[in-house]
Structure 1
Amino acid sequence: MTEYGYFLSSEEHTPAELVEQARMAEQAGFTSLWISDHYHPWNDSQGQSPFVWSVVGALSEAVSLPVETAVTCPTVRMHPAVVAQAAATSAVQLGGRFRLGVGSGEALNEHILGDAWPEASVRLEMLEEAIQVMRLLFTGDQVSHRGKHYTVENARLYTVPDEPVPIDVSAFGPQAGELASRAGDGLVAMAPDQALIERFRRGGGGGKPVSAGLKVCWGPDREAAVHEAHRLWANEQLPGELPQVLPTPRHFEQASELVTPERVGENVPCGSEVDVHLAAVREYADAGFDTVYVNQIGKEQRGFFDFYRTKVLPQLA
């Protein structure tokens, strides 16, 4: 049976707001949390980008729900040995209720130290090696590693959970899907893509968990909700590899000028019609996802949680 979690948007909200949303999510009946890991927001209108590991620590004290980063890039901006330490500490704080979601990242966040931004095939190669390094460190043993992309010398994590941190891999294409199948403990996606799940299962994913996220914009006025979704998240409708290669929020703002409010309204569930929200969420459940994470766009958070608590989640149970 599909479960339903809440997706915390680090790009839109302050640390205190994220923690309060997590509390409301638990009270509303959501069973787990995703939280995005960004250095920059996608555009200046979103306006935030707190350090995810600090917020995860606060979540461990505020709620009893499992938490997963969706997703962390452990390849360029942060060395995988450092990500491994952050993830292991988070897992200890959460009593084992932590999963590390990883992906190959975007130039938006990863170019900030002036490093070259590799092409997609190299980014996936780096991600696979990074996963290998982190798995070695999660054992708590002393690790030395000299690979094609990373060097680790005499490193040991002294604070580790009883079980290694599960690593789920984000996949948006065939190559990433193959990587997720052979190297991941689960699959992360952002579309109701049944074919992606089937490829993951055939490639070695077996019975591993598959999770997906979607954005909605609840509000009493659908037109206003569409406007808010377009103002904050028009970038979600950009095609192809643009989201992976554009380097600054300003570039995303320029590209998003090509995205119309009508296109956003066609692709993002907006307004307060229960059937619209149910249909969007069920599309992911019908595709075969084990957990679907819903994110509410904008400031109407309390109304959203009341709506899902009373109108949506009871019908999905």
Structure 2
Amino acid sequence: MTKFGYTLMTEQSGPRELVRYAQGAEDVGFDFEVSSDHYFPWLTEMGHAPHAWTMLGAVAQVTQRVELMTYVTCPTFRYHPAIVAQQAATLALLSDNRFTLGLGSGENLNEHVVGAPWPMASVRQERLIEAIEIIKALLTGEQTTWVGEHFRVDSAKVWDLPDQPIALAAAVSGDSSITKFSPLVDHLIAVEPEGEFVQNWDAARSSAGLPESRKIGQIPICWGPDKDRAVERAHELFRWFGGGWHVNADLPTPVAFDAASQFVTLDDVADAIPCGPDLDEIVEAVRPFWAAGFTDIAIVQAGDESQEQFLAEAAGPLLEKLRAASA
């Protein structure tokens, strides 16, 4: 059965609000919750960027059932992989083993803040592979020393570990990343409903003798009682998507995203993101994900000011429709 999640969007809400929304999302029936992990919002209008790990620690204390996940953390620039391993272990303990560590190769928007040069995509993937190996070694509880091409670790040990292994997931964007990451992690993350990604991922894991994994996707929506206002809100906050991830990964600041998205129109956004009160329209927008083989799909509701109304009025009926359609 397909699982449906709620996105804690750190770029558009403050930490206290996110903790409140997390509790509401569990109450209304979402299966899991994912959190973005940014230092900057994509656009100035979004207005927020609290520390995801601190917020998730609080979320772990106000929820009891939902799975939690970073979607995604980059463990190669702003965070050293040894620190990510420690953070993941602590959050797994605080959440009673409800945590999955979602990892990716990062965006310049968030990682430039530490002053490191931003390399080409192939190098970013090399760094992520090495980081995953370090994280996996540390999560065994063994003292770890590592001298690699990109990272050094000196006699590190994670002292507080959960009693169950922490699942790792990696964000992929094509065949190259599928080949590299499918044998290293437990689950796939992707934001496009590409059936070929899922098939190639499953084939790669099967040929390596690895068990079947979860395929975790994400889709933005902008539910609201007034369709025109919902389109305006989606355009104001989510027009940054227009450049695609291969462009977005390299842009350094919200000002750059604003410039890159200046020609994205209201119609462009309305064509790409289901907006307004029609829950059946939202279901049809989500359908390609489970049709492509995704097992888990996280919903992103655009706009901080709309979250409480969405959770109170729309989320429950939407989940009913999504579960009936996906079944």
Q: Same fold (TM over 0.5)?
A: yes
Among all aligned residue pairs of Structure 1 and Structure 2, give the percentage whose two residues are the same amino acid.
38
| 1:192 pairs with 2:198 | no
CA contact (8 A) 2:280 2:321 kept: no
**Pairs aligned (count):** 317
Match of 2:222 among 217, 231, 248: 217
Instruction: State the one-letter code of the partner of 2:38.
Output: H
TM superposition shift of 1:175: 1.7
1:218 touches 1:272 (CA, 8 Å); kept in 2? yes
Match of 2:281 in 1: 276
Number of the residue aligned with 2:171: 170
Match of 1:6 in 2: 6
Amino acid at match of 2:274: P
Name the residue aligned to 1:254.
259
Offset of 1:240 from its aligned partner?
Answer: 5.3
With structure 1 as the length reference, what TM-score do the two structures score? 0.97
Report the equivalent of 1:42. 42
CA shift for structure 1 position 283: 2.0
What is the CA-CA distance between 1:310 and the residue it aligns to?
4.0
Question: C-alpha separation between the residues in 1 aligned to 2:12 and 2:90?
Answer: 25
Which runs of structure 2 are paired with 1:61-76 in the superposition (5 Å)? 61-64=61-64, 65-76=66-77
Whole-Å Cα distance in 2 between the matches of residues 27 and 105 of structure 1? Answer: 32
Q: Residue 223 of structure 1: CA displacement?
A: 1.1
Residue 26 of structure 1 is matched in structure 2 by 26
* Alignment partner of 1:291 out of 288, 296, 305: 296
Paired residues of 1:180 and 1:200 also in contact (CA < 8 A): no
Equivalent position SS for 2:298: strand
Q: CA deviation at 1:116?
A: 0.9
Letter in 1 for 2:42: W
- The SS at the match of 2:223 is coil
Provide, for residues 2-34 of structure 1, a one-character-per-residue CA deviation record: whole Å limited to 9, x for no partner: 011101100000011101111111111101100
How far off its partner does 1:305 sit? Answer: 1.7
* Structure 2 partner of 1:305: 311
The aligned counterpart of 2:81 is: 80
* Mapped partners of 1:97, 1:129: distance in 2: 25
The equivalent of 1:60 in structure 2 is: 60
* Corresponding residue SS for 2:116: coil
| 3-state SS in 2 of match to 1:300 | helix
Q: Which moved more, 1:71-80 or 1:198-207?
A: 198-207
Partner Cα separation in structure 1 for residue 217 and residue 316 of structure 2: 23
Distance (whole Å) between structure 2 residues aligned to residue 109 and residue 103 of structure 1: 12
What is the match of residue 321 of structure 2? 315
Q: Residue 278 of structure 1: CA displacement? A: 1.2
Describe the superposition over 1:37-77 as per-residue Cα deviations: whole angstroms up to 9, x where unpaired.
00111111011001111001100111121100000000011
Partner of 1:61: helix, strand, or coil?
A: helix
Letter paired with 2:297: V
| TM-score with structure 2 setting the length | 0.94
CA distance in 2, matches of 1:223, 1:271: 7
Distance 2:47 2:316 in 1: 30
Gaps of 5+ in 2: none
Supply the RMSD in Å over aligned alpha carbons: 1.2
SS in 1 for 2:299: strand
Deviates more, 1:240-249 or 1:50-59: 240-249
Q: Secondary structure at the match of 1:71?
A: coil
Q: Determine the C-alpha separation between the residues in 1 that align with 2:185 and 2:243.
A: 27
Partner SS state of residue 10, structure 1: coil
Counterpart Cα distance in 2 of 1:168 and 1:300: 30
Q: Which is further off, 71-80 or 278-287?
A: 278-287
- Show structure 1 runs of 5+ residues with no match: none
Residue 169 of structure 1 aligns to a residue whose secondary structure is: strand
